[in-house]
A and B are shown apart, each in its own frame.
Chain A
Amino acid sequence: MEYFAQQAINAIQLGAIYALIALGYSLVYGVLTMINFAHGDLFMVGAFFCLIIASLFPLPFVVILVLVMLSTGFLGALIERVAYRPLRSAPRVSAIITALGCGLVIENLVSSLSPYAKPMPALFSVTGYNLGGLSISSLQILIIGVSILLMVGLDFFIRRTSFGMAMRAISFDSRTVPLLGIPLNKVISVTFLIGAGLGGAAGMLYGLAYPVIAASMGVLVGWKAFIAAVVGGIGSIRGAVVGGFILGLVEVMTVAVLPSTYRDLIAYSLLLVILIFKPYGLLGKAPNQKV
């Protein structure tokens, strides 16, 4: 029992990171109805940005977090500006292919520049606590705390600010909204900035939790988060969070019971099963099909 409770803490930590990445997929899908396949690689780039910044300047944790989020965010917005915006009126498939291509370019660029996995420096000394037989480290508390803070902040931003309202309006009807004077391009750019920024933060937290980072992380972890987004219902913000925690739990429990090589198999099978029985995810809405 204690073993499973201990695993549950690990599951929450992993789930929080998945949820942060999944939010980026969901935000972009909500506004553009497009799967940003490059998002997993932005997550990976976030970890590398953290490595670069932390090894150049000994800054406090919060400052590094903000710098990583900003740099990854601007990279995301740049990709949108250069690669996705010219294709906005093109067939949907073109945009997916471009996103897939952008992701592979980023991944292989990073792996060409840094062919071997790199160790991530510890940003502060980690202390362990004992809570009635369960051990939890200050790092785990920090990761879970920062993730939840970012999620609550995002939820507030989307529900309570005028910019968030514009984002919701565009995801509701992207043709009418620009006619009402809402700057479509600006909102989309900001959406990418926020989504990629959250991905970057997740990359940094993941790098601290599992302190070896490599270019393949984008596919191995980033795409898992994509499963989380789809399971929760892509386009739904709260769905992404729910999906992230479900996936974290499923993965950690799989590894606790079965050999770890089964992790991907179970995760992707879960995706397939969810898509068969609930094609639009747990909290997603089916789009109206217009004839």
Chain B
Amino acid sequence: MGKVMDFLKKLGENRVILPVLLVVGFILTLAISQFAPLEQGLQSVLRELHLNTYVIALVGINVILCASLNLVNGYMGEFSVGHAGFMSLGAYASSIVTVKLLPDMPDALFFFPVIVGGVVAALAGFLLALLSFKTRGDYLAIITLAFLMIVKSALENIPYVGGPRGMLGIPKLTTLAWAFFWAVVTIWVLRNLLYSKFGRAIAAIREDEIAANSMGVRVREAKILAFSVSAFFAGVAGALFAHLLVFATPATFGIFTSTEILVMVYLGGIGSLAGSIIGAVVYTLLSNWLLPLGTWRMVIMPLILVLLMLFRPKGIMGFRELPWFLPKREARRKDS
């Protein structure tokens, strides 16, 4: 056991192996989505574990959602329940591009509609950040809740995007490779952001907003950036999700979806990128294995959230980080 731990520790500190692993992973996922025999082989292995490639792609999407919500709810210490709203904006904006505007787009250009989805969501995040200046805590939670409900009922009233029936006939463009790629991009961007000047500002806001302001932290800029970045990646995840599910209805992105993301964040641990990944993986697999329980799954999942809050509010990682998720300078400083 000790040897294994030592090996893992060495592996974590080795900074050459991480990019190698990421490239290998990307090539592997790309190969799987290109060559049918590989995919069939993977499917048969996954079937033994009661999984399928759909769930694996969902893991990637949930990693994006969980890490981006962690930026606002964990690192900045606000409480947003509107993440599913950003997701639905991303899903609808990207689906409009692929279904209505550019139906003949080659599959390789899938990054473009995804970015459109992210940008639309980021604009909404920017607006929400402006509203959040006046309020904190409970009232911010209310504003994000109102935002979620407004997005949902607005989409239900727009015939162009299908009203309550939603968008149908979305092409299935989300492959394992795209999910993997965007998850890595999300984690990479967030890591670099969190250990920059901006990341320190966010931590200062979390600890004491008034004190941070009086110490010269640009609170408003930091909040706008945090909300926009978080919303951008939620939109990206929503776009990937719509093109995995091949349809998008307003009801898909309700308060329960937001709660699911919250469970992942608090299960993995707030203020930790490694925790976000662990939370998303554990939650997605668990929720897939509990599918035979039907609606009782929807009782168990929020119950896990309540029990977590009561007995381990920090989650699995809780403001701890694995060395791979720290920049080089930071990792060395933690050692000494």
Q: Which residues of A contact B (CB under 8 A)?
A: 33-35, 83, 86-87, 90-94, 96-98, 100-105, 108-109, 111-112, 115, 219, 223, 227, 230, 259, 261-262, 264-265, 268-269, 271-272, 275-276, 279, 289, 291
Q: Which residues on the A side are within 8 Å of B145 (C-beta)? A: 223
B309 at the interface (CB under 8 A from A): yes
Task: Report the stretch among B3-11, B220-228, B294-302 that lies at the interface.
Answer: B294-302
**Least Cβ–Cβ distance between A290 and chain B, in angstroms:** 9
- Contact residue among A86, A262, A271 (Cβ-Cβ distance under 8 Å from B157): A262
Task: Report the stretch among B19-27, B113-121, B129-137 that lies at the interface.
Answer: B129-137
Q: Which residues of B contact A (CB under 8 A)?
A: 73, 77, 79, 81, 131, 134-135, 137-139, 141-143, 145-147, 149-150, 152-154, 156-157, 164, 210-211, 255-256, 259, 262, 266, 294-296, 298-299, 301-303, 305-306, 309-310, 313
Q: Which residues on the A side are within 8 Å of B210 (C-beta)? A: 289, 291
A92–B308 CA distance with the chains assembled, in angstroms:
15
Q: Which residues on the A side are within 8 Å of B153 (C-beta)? A: 261-262, 264-265, 268
A90 to B298, Cβ gap below 8 A? no
Sample 11 A-B pairs with CB under 8 A, ordered by A number.
A86-B310, A101-B306, A108-B298, A112-B299, A265-B157, A272-B146, A272-B147, A272-B150, A275-B139, A279-B135, A291-B211
A100–B148 CA distance with the chains assembled, in angstroms:
15
**Least Cβ–Cβ distance between A110 and chain B, in angstroms:** 10
Q: Which residues on the B side are within 8 Å of A279 (C-beta)? A: 134-135, 139
A172–B153 CA distance with the chains assembled, in angstroms:
38
Residue of B nearest to A100 (CB): B259
Q: Which residues on the A side are within 8 Å of B146 (C-beta)? A: 227, 268-269, 271-272, 275
The secondary structure that dominates the A interface is helix
Q: Which residues on the A side are within 8 Å of B156 (C-beta)? A: 261
**Least Cβ–Cβ distance between B51 and chain A, in angstroms:** 24
A146–B254 CA distance with the chains assembled, in angstroms:
34
**Least Cβ–Cβ distance between A247 and chain B, in angstroms:** 13
Q: How many A-B residue pairs have CB under 8 A?
A: 116
Q: Which residues on the A side are within 8 Å of B147 (C-beta)? A: 272
* A-B CB proximity, top 7 nearest: A104-B302, A108-B298, A101-B305, A101-B306, A264-B153, A265-B153, A101-B302
Report if A92-B137 is in contact (Cβ < 8 Å); known contacts: A219-B255, A268-B153.
Answer: yes
**Least Cβ–Cβ distance between B30 and chain A, in angstroms:** 38
A83 to B306, Cβ gap below 8 A? yes
**Least Cβ–Cβ distance between B225 and chain A, in angstroms:** 21
Determine which residue in B143, B145, B154, B156 has the highest number of CB atoms from chain A within 10 A of its CB, and name it.
Answer: B145
A101 to B303, Cβ gap below 8 A? yes
- Contact residue among B79, B135, B310 (Cβ-Cβ distance under 8 Å from A98): B310
B255 to A265, Cβ gap below 8 A? no
Q: Which residues on the B side are within 8 Å of A276 (C-beta)? A: 131, 134
**Least Cβ–Cβ distance between A124 and chain B, in angstroms:** 35
Determine which residue in A101, A108, A259, A269 has the highest number of CB atoms from chain B within 10 A of its CB, and name it.
Answer: A101
A98–B312 CA distance with the chains assembled, in angstroms:
12
- Contact residue among A94, A109, A269 (Cβ-Cβ distance under 8 Å from B150): A269
Q: Which residues on the A side are within 8 Å of B73 (C-beta)? A: 93
**Least Cβ–Cβ distance between B223 and chain A, in angstroms:** 16
B256 to A104, Cβ gap below 8 A? yes
Determine which residue in B149, B157, B164, B295 has the highest number of CB atoms from chain A within 10 A of its CB, and name it.
Answer: B149
Report if A109-B255 is in contact (Cβ < 8 Å); known contacts: A101-B306, A271-B146.
Answer: no
Q: Which residues on the A side are within 8 Å of B164 (C-beta)? A: 261
A223–B139 CA distance with the chains assembled, in angstroms:
15
Q: Which residues on the B side are within 8 Å of A261 (C-beta)? A: 153, 156-157, 164
Q: Which residues on the A side are within 8 Å of B262 (C-beta)? A: 97, 100
- Contact residue among A87, A230, A271 (Cβ-Cβ distance under 8 Å from B309): A87
B134 to A93, Cβ gap below 8 A? no
A271–B156 CA distance with the chains assembled, in angstroms:
19
A91–B294 CA distance with the chains assembled, in angstroms:
33
